C-alpha cells in the first residue's frame, strides 16, 4: 500500500478578499475530492488573500497508479482554476 501526497500552491491575483478566495478553494477542493476520491484541504496560507495551498492525499496499490492519480489531479487543477500554480511538492510513501 502506498500513500500519495501532493501540495499545490496557487496564486489567485484577482482575489481581493478571503470570501472570494474561500469560494475558489471550496469549489476546487470539492471537484477534486469527488472526481478522484481523494482527500483535499487548504493547508497553509488561510489568512492570505491571493495565495492558496492545497494538500492532497490518497492511497494507491502501486507506484504507477499513485503517480498517475497525482498527474491527473494536477492536470485537472490546472484546467479548472484561473489561478497560476506556483509550487508543487509530490511524495509517494510506502507503508
What tens digit of pLDDT does each residue of 3-12 get?
A: 999 999 999 9
User: What 3 state SS string does the chain have?
Assistant: CEEEEEEEEEECCCCCCHHHHHHHHHHHHHHHHHHHCCEEEEEECCCCCCEEEEEEEEEECCHHHHHHHHHHHHHHHHHCCCCEEEEEEEEEEEC
Tell me, what's the pLDDT at 91?
Answer: 96
| CATH for 2-94 (3.40.605.10, 3.40.50.2300, 3.30.70.1120, 3.40.50.1100) | 3.30.70.1120
Answering whether pTM is above 0.75, one says yes
Q: Rounded to whole angstroms, how far apart are CA atoms 92 and 6?
A: 9
**Is residue 40 pLDDT above 90, yes or no?**
yes
- Going from N- to C-terminal start, the domains of the chain cover 2-94
Amino acid at each position: 500500500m502506498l500513500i500519495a501526497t501532493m501540495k499545490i500552491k496557487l496564486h489567485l491575483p484577482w482575489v481581493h478578499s478571503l470570501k472570494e478566495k474561500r469560494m475558489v478553494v471550496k469549489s476546487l477542493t470539492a471537484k477534486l475530492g469527488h472526481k478522484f476520491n481523494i482527500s483535499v484541504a487548504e493547508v497553509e496560507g488561510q489568512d492570505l488573500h491571493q495565495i492558496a495551498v492545497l494538500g492532497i492525499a490518497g492511497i494507491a496499490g502501486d507506484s504507477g497508479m499513485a503517480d498517475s492519480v497525482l498527474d491527473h489531479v494536477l492536470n485537472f487543477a490546472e484546467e479548472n482554476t484561473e489561478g497560476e500554480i506556483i509550487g508543487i511538492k509530490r511524495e509517494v510513501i510506502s507503508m
